[in-house]
Amino acid sequence: MVGRIKLEEESKVLDTYYDESFDPLSEVLFSQPLNFEPSAHFNGTVEEVAYRPNHVTVKTVQQGRGFLVLMDSYFPGWTVRVDGEEKPILRANHFYRAVQLDSGSHTLEFDYFPEGFKTGLIISSTVSILLVVLSLWRWRRADPVQVK
C-alpha cells in the first residue's frame, strides 16, 4: 500500500525503478498519466491475502487515497472488482499490478481469464459442430449396401 506516485516515460521506467532514490515501499511508478491527488496523510495495510488458481482476494484498510500494488506479474486477462465494482488494473513499476483506492476498508477480487479464450472456444465449438454435421451428411448420402 502506497500513497504517492511517480510518473516516468515508458523508456525510462526501468532506470527509475532500479535507481536508489526510488522507494517502492512508499511510492508507485507509472508510465501512463493518472488522475490522482495524493492525500496529505496516507496510511494503509493489507489485512488478508488469499490465492486460488486464477483468483486473488485482498482485504485492505487505509486512510487517504493510495494504491494497492500487487507484486504479481502484470498480464492482460486480469480483472479486478473493488467492493463489487469493476476497476481498472494499472501497470505499476513496469512489472506489477496496481489498483487505485479511496480511503476506507476494501475487498479486492482479482480474476484471470486469458484473452482470446472465448474466441478460441467459439471457433473450436463451431468447427466441432460442422465436423459432426458433415459426417452425418456423408453417412446418410452413402449408398446402402445392396444384398443379393
Over residues 28-43, the pLDDT tens digits come to 999 988 889 888 899 9
pLDDT given at position 3:
93
Within a 10 A sphere around the Cβ of 25, how many other Cβ atoms?
7
Tell me the chain's radius of gyration from C-alpha atoms.
25
Question: Span 76-88, mean pLDDT?
Answer: 95
Question: Span 40-55, mean pLDDT?
Answer: 93
The model's confidence at residue 148, banded by pLDDT at 50, 70 and 90, is: low
The H or E element containing residue 105 is strand 104-112
Question: Span 80-101, mean pLDDT?
Answer: 95
DSSP per-residue letters across 24-41? TTTEEEESS-------SS
User: Higher model confidence: residue 32 or residue 68?
Assistant: 68
Measured CA distances, 145 to 75, 135, 142 (Å) = 58, 18, 9
pLDDT given at position 144:
60
**pLDDT at residue 136 tops 60:** yes
Question: Span 75-91, mean pLDDT?
Answer: 94
Task: Report helix, strand or coil for 90.
Answer: strand
Within a 10 A sphere around the Cβ of 80, how many other Cβ atoms?
21
> 104-112 and 55-63: which strand pairing?
antiparallel
Mean pLDDT of the chain: 89
CA 34 to CA 53: how far, in whole Å?
30
> 27-30 and 4-7: which strand pairing?
parallel
User: Higher model confidence: residue 57 or residue 32?
Assistant: 57
What are the grid coordinates assigned to 140, written together?
446418410
Question: Span 110-137, mean pLDDT?
Answer: 81
What are the grid coordinates assigned to 113, written together?
481469464
